[in-house]
Amino acid sequence: MSKKKISLSEEELVLALRHREKIAVEALYDMYSASLYGVICRIVVDEATSEDVLQETFVKIWHSFSSYSPDKGRLFTWMVNIARNLSIDKLRSKDFKNHNKNQELENNVTFIDEQRNTVYKPELMGIKELVQKLKPEQKSILDLVYFKGYTHVEAADELGIPLGTIKTRLRMAIIELRKNFN
Amino acid sequence: MEDVKAFIESGILELYVLGDVSPAEKQQVEAMVQQHPAVKAELSEVEKALESYALANAVEPSENQRNKILNSLVTNLADDATFTKKDSAATDNVVVMTATANNFYKYAFAASIALLVGSLVALFNVYNKLQKSNLQLVAMTTQNQRISKTVSYMNDALGVFRDTTFKVLKLKGTKNLPAGGMTVAWSPVKKKVMIDMTALNMPENDQAHQYQLWAIVAGKPVDLGVFDKSSADSSDMKQMKSVAAPTVFAVTLEPRGGSVNPTMDKMMVAGSVSL
């Protein structure tokens, strides 16, 4: 596990990816695979399928990189939306539905955390604790939208909460995160 | 600036970052980000917060995924135009293997044909040699028979000449045939007359005539039989009719089958017996 991982600044990475450099591919994987996989496997759950989706995600990132524009947002935002959309597509595909009926979506987040080796990096020790500071109603909405691929409309239905309240809680959850992270 | 604050507080930036906006809303957000640095800064804060949240919830993929995924991307790096590089490579492999198998049978078939043609040529050659050998064998058998026949004739001839009872007479050519001559062997004891066909120094007779051998006994001609002079079958001692006590041997040319009395002006050779 002591393998040397490549890390670049986001600007350097974007530039290297534009130039189709091999090192950019490795840096991209080392920097973002775990974060993207965390989102993917919370939506998809099944491990083999999650790994497929992770590969599809990197292939799509690599091939449609020309459509990414730093003006419109950060690289990770663009990538995580690709990962989430591919995960939801996979989840809704017919053959996947057929063999994965027994998983309760609601329990996925804790289920994943119990089942898998989530990342324990020294620099993340504080973050883990801070995440716990989110109020439960904030965390549940954020997780539904961020880790389940729910739209805020679907989340409002699911939780039986008015749309406006959902939006507010989502915003407050993110503000809480900003306080802790930034 | 009130617009900007309301825009920020509406929560649309959060939904934008979460990918939960309509295309129209998306355009609106992007336009606001371009126009207002405050919106851009706010957007960036929201993004960083959610990025950190993702990092806090990160799950490390299994070790083998890194190589698998990087390889699939590096393959694409080599040939960017092809999404399905792996598939086409696999297909290529299959094609290559099929081609190899096909080639083996192709070459094996060609080799068989070549072998077959080679065998046929060899067989034809051997057959020709056999035919030639058979012909030679037949020729040699014929020659062998001829030689043994010749040997037996010569034995006969030698027997005649060795037999002390035989007298050998040289008949000389008459005025009709000055250069002619032949040899007659006569045994007074055995009453046998033989003529040597090999030493028959006379012109060939035609189909209408034959030579006839006569013996003069007590002044009268006695028929001893007819013979032919031809190019073929001349290595013989021909036995003629028997005669006792002849004084002269003579040959005349007579109509085919011979005559009762010799045609004297057609006498070709003659010789007297010296007792």
pLDDT higher than threshold 90 for residue A76: yes
pLDDT higher than threshold 50 for residue B165: yes
Domains of chain B: which residue ranges?
A: 2-59, 83-162, 167-272
C-beta of residue B208 within 8 angstroms of C-beta of residue B226: no
Average pLDDT over residues A50-78: 90
pLDDT higher than threshold 50 for residue B11: yes
- Percent of chain B at pLDDT above 70? 87
The shortest C-alpha distance from A135 to chain B (Å) reads 14
Tens digit of pLDDT for each residue in B101-152?
A: 567 888 899 999 999 999 999 999 999 999 999 999 999 999 999 899 888 8
What separation in angstroms does the CA of A169 have from each of A156, B9, B42? Answer: 11, 12, 17
Q: Does one domain contain both A88 and A130?
A: no
Under the banding of pLDDT at 50, 70 and 90, the label for residue B206 is confident
pLDDT at position B119: 95
pLDDT higher than threshold 50 for residue B183: yes
Average pLDDT over residues B233-252: 81
CB distance from B83 to chain A under 8 Å?
yes
Average the pLDDT over each of A100-109, B30-39, B71-80, B212-221 and give the range with the smallest value. Answer: A100-109
Q: Does one domain contain both A86 and A145?
A: no
- Which residues in chain B have their CB less than 8 angstroms from residue A37's CB? 58-61
pTM: 0.52
CB contact under 8 A, B54 and A77: no
Kindly state the tokens that stand for B114.
């070549």
pLDDT higher than threshold 70 for residue B81: no
Average pLDDT over residues A41-45: 85
Domain boundary among A95, A115, A135: A115
Tens digit of pLDDT for each residue in B129-141?
A: 999 999 999 999 9
Average pLDDT over residues A6-27: 85
Kindly state the tokens that stand for B51.
């990025």
C-beta of residue B238 within 8 angstroms of C-beta of residue B227: yes
3-class state of residue B257 by DSSP: coil
List the single best residue of B20, B47, B70, B71 to mutate versus A (max A Cβ within 10 A).
Answer: B20
pLDDT at position B192: 84
Q: Which residues of A18-50 are buried (b: 16+ CB within 10 A; e: fewer)?
A: eeeeeebbbbbbbbbbbbbbbbbbbbbbbeebb
pLDDT at position A124: 53
pLDDT at position A10: 85
C-beta of residue B180 within 8 angstroms of C-beta of residue B202: yes
Mean pLDDT of chain B: 82
pLDDT at position B10: 87
CATH number at residue A81: 1.10.1740.10
Kindly state the tokens that stand for A14.
């974007």
Average pLDDT over residues B66-95: 59
CB contact under 8 A, A112 and B59: yes
Q: Does one domain contain both A70 and A107?
A: yes
Average pLDDT over residues A133-155: 85
User: What do you get for the CA distance between the two ends of chain A, in Å?
Assistant: 28
Q: Does one domain contain both A103 and A182?
A: no
Under the banding of pLDDT at 50, 70 and 90, the label for residue A98 is low
Q: Residue B103 CB: number of other CB atoms within 10 A?
A: 10
pLDDT higher than threshold 60 for residue B194: yes
Structural domain boundaries enclosing A148: 120-182
pLDDT at position B120: 95
Question: Taking the CA of residue B69 as centre, how many other CA atoms within 13 Å lie in the half-sphere pointing to its CB?
Answer: 28
pLDDT at position B85: 41
Mean pLDDT of chain A: 79
pLDDT at position B76: 61
C-beta of residue A170 within 8 angstroms of C-beta of residue B14: yes
Q: Does one domain contain both A156 and A101?
A: no
Task: Quickly list DSSP for A70-129.
Answer: GGGS-HHHHHHHHHHHHHHHHHHSHHHHHH-TT--GGGHHHHHHHHS-B---GGGHHHHH
Average pLDDT over residues B72-85: 57
Query: Searching chain B, which residue's CA lies closest to the CA of residue A115?
Result: B59
C-beta of residue B260 within 8 angstroms of C-beta of residue B226: no
Task: Quickly list DSSP for B2-58.
Answer: HHHHHHHHTTHHHHHHTT-S-HHHHHHHHHHHHH-HHHHHHHHHHHHHHHHHHHHT-
3-class state of residue A3 by DSSP: coil
> A124 or A49: which carries more pLDDT confidence?
A49
Number of domains in chain A: 2
* Cα distance between residue A149 and residue A124, in whole Å: 24
Q: Does one domain contain both A55 and A129?
A: no
pLDDT at position B93: 46
Count the helices and strands in chain A (H runs, E runs).
10, 0
> Taking Cα atoms as reference points, which of B101, B47, B154 lies closest to residue A79?
B47
Average the pLDDT over each of A49-53, B242-246, B253-257 and give the range with the smallest value. Answer: B242-246
Kindly state the tokens that stand for A153.
């409309």
Strand bridging mode B192-196 / B237-240: antiparallel
Q: Does one domain contain both A81 and A134?
A: no
Query: Searching chain B, which residue's CA lies closest to the CA of residue A1?
Result: B63
pLDDT at position A126: 57
Q: Does one domain contain both A44 and A106?
A: yes
Under the banding of pLDDT at 50, 70 and 90, the label for residue A95 is low
Q: Does one domain contain both A61 and A89?
A: yes
The shortest C-alpha distance from A99 to chain B (Å) reads 22
C-beta of residue A85 within 8 angstroms of C-beta of residue A64: no
Under the banding of pLDDT at 50, 70 and 90, the label for residue A177 is confident
Under the banding of pLDDT at 50, 70 and 90, the label for residue A58 is very high
> B19 or B118: which carries more pLDDT confidence?
B118
* CA B188 to the chain's CA centroid: 68
C-beta of residue A83 within 8 angstroms of C-beta of residue B69: no
Q: Does one domain contain both A10 and A58?
A: yes
| Strands laid side by side in the B248-255 sheet | B220-227, B209-217, B248-255, B267-272, B167-173, B181-187, B192-196, B237-240
Domain boundary among A71, A96, A115: A115
Under the banding of pLDDT at 50, 70 and 90, the label for residue B88 is very low
- Percent of chain A at pLDDT above 70? 75
* Cα distance between residue B225 and residue B258, in whole Å: 7
* CA A153 to the chain's CA centroid: 19
- Find where tokens 């034995």 sit: B155
- Angle at which helices A75-92 and A22-44 pack, to 10 degrees? 50
Under the banding of pLDDT at 50, 70 and 90, the label for residue B77 is low
Query: How many residues are recorded in chain A?
Result: 182
C-beta of residue A16 within 8 angstroms of C-beta of residue A26: no
pLDDT at position B114: 95
pLDDT at position A107: 47
- The partner residue sitting opposite B77, judged by closest CB among A20, A109, A174, is A20
Kindly state the tokens that stand for B1.
């600036």
Average pLDDT over residues B211-216: 90
pLDDT at position B87: 45
List the single best residue of B7, B18, B43, B48 to mutate versus A (max A Cβ within 10 A).
Answer: B18
Q: Does one domain contain both A126 and A105?
A: no
Domain boundary among A96, A115, A134: A115
Per DSSP (E only), the strands in B42-156 are none
pLDDT higher than threshold 70 for residue A122: no
- The partner residue sitting opposite B52, judged by closest CB among A147, A175, A177, is A177
ipTM of the complex as predicted: 0.81
